[in-house]
Structures are given as C-alpha cells and as structure tokens.
C-alpha cells in the first residue's frame, strides 16, 4: 500500500525549554516548555490529502497543536543515547499524555538534537481518519510521527 508523508513546512518560533532535576538521585530530567504548531502549516505534498488532513485535525476551529515536554531521560552533553520522555499533546481540543522515544545526539559544543518518534491514533484524540471517494480511499487510524528538535544549550548549571 502506498503511503504519504506530511511535513511542517514552517516553524519560526524561538522556544525556551528547560531541563532540570529536583534532586541528584532523580533518573530522568523534568522538562518545562513546549512547542505550538500551526496545523495550517502542515503540507502532505498533495493538495487534497493536505486539505483532508487539516479538516480532520479541525484546523479551522483549533488551528494549533500544543506539545508540552514533561520529562526526558537523563543524557550527557557529549555522545549519542536512546532515552524516553513524557509529553502532553493537545490536538483538536483533546489532551493526552504520552511517552516518546528519543535519540539524543550531541556534538560536545552547545548543540543537542532530539530525534523522536511516536505512533498515535486519530482516535486517541477523538478524530476519525480521513477518507475520500465515499470511503474507497481511506487513511489508517495510525500515524507515525517523527520529529527533530535542534536545541542550543544557553546555560548549564549543576544542581
């Protein structure tokens, strides 16, 4: 079965994310901050699929998806590590807390990349997968979301 890929074609926000531990024995880092994504900036590279996806995600009523980082596995400033984290996603007026898998890549300078993935269901957010031509073409309920966040360390303090 042929698939398609959608991308966020523009994200110009400068966001501040904070990672911290409440005590030195804590295994994961608490996170504070998040992202707000304009659903109307999603592009599936096919006009009708893009339009149907935006309609399904209720972009006309609630045009923003909010992702708040809650926690992330502990990582060092140098190296590559696979970790897990928790996020709260608000989409189409429905909020869900979910675990996300990340690969953290750092360069030893002040740049950190979080490469993440998560499979979600339209139904997780009370949505019905889009279909065309009276149901002859139907999108699966499951979506695989992949993302890359590039972070720049602006302050490093030990607690």
pLDDT tens for 87-146 read 999 999 999 999 999 898 877 677 888 888 889 999 999 998 877 645 556 667 888 888
In this structure, is the dihedral angle defined by the CA atoms of residues 144, 98, 53 and 33, taken in order, positive or negative?
negative
Q: Specify the 3-state DSSP secondary structure of 85.
A: strand
User: What is the per-residue pLDDT across 37-46, written as a single tens digit (0 to 9) for each?
Assistant: 899 999 988 8
Instruction: State pTM to two decimals.
Output: 0.81
**In the prediction, which pLDDT does 38 show?**
92
Structural domain total, the chain: 1
Q: Confirm whether 159 is domain-assigned.
A: no
Is there a domain that residue 32 lies in? yes
The answer to whether residue 158 sits within a structural domain is no
CA distance 87 to 142: 18
Residue 146 belongs to some domain of the structure: yes
Domain coverage including residue 16: 7-152
pLDDT above 90 coverage of the chain, percent: 28
Q: Is position 157 within any domain?
A: no
pLDDT digits 0-9 by tens, 54-98: 999 999 999 999 999 998 887 766 667 888 999 999 999 999 999
Give 134's contacts (C-beta < 8 A, 6+ positions apart). none
Classify residue 2: in a domain, yes or no. no
CATH number of residue 119's parent domain? 2.40.128.110
Query: What is the spatial distance between Cα 10 and Cα 121, in angstroms, rounded to a whole number?
Result: 24
């Amino acid at each position: 079965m042929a698939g398609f890929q959608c991308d966020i074609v523009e994200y110009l926000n400068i966001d501040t994310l904070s990672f911290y531990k409440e005590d030195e024995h804590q295994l994961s880092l608490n996170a504070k901050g998040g992202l707000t994504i304009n659903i109307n900036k999603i592009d599936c590279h096919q006009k009708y699929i893009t339009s149907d996806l935006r309609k399904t995600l209720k972009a006309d009523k609630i045009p923003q998806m909010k992702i708040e980082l809650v926690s992330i596995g502990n990582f060092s400033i140098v190296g590559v590590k696979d970790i897990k984290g928790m996020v709260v996603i608000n989409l189409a007026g429905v909020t869900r807390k979910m675990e996300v898998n990340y690969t953290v890549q750092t360069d030893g300078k002040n740049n950190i990349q979080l490469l993440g993935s998560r499979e979600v269901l339209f139904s997780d957010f009370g949505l019905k997968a889009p279909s065309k031509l009276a149901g002859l073409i139907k999108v699966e309920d499951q979506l695989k979301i992949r993302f890359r966040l590039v972070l720049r360390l602006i302050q490093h303090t030990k607690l």
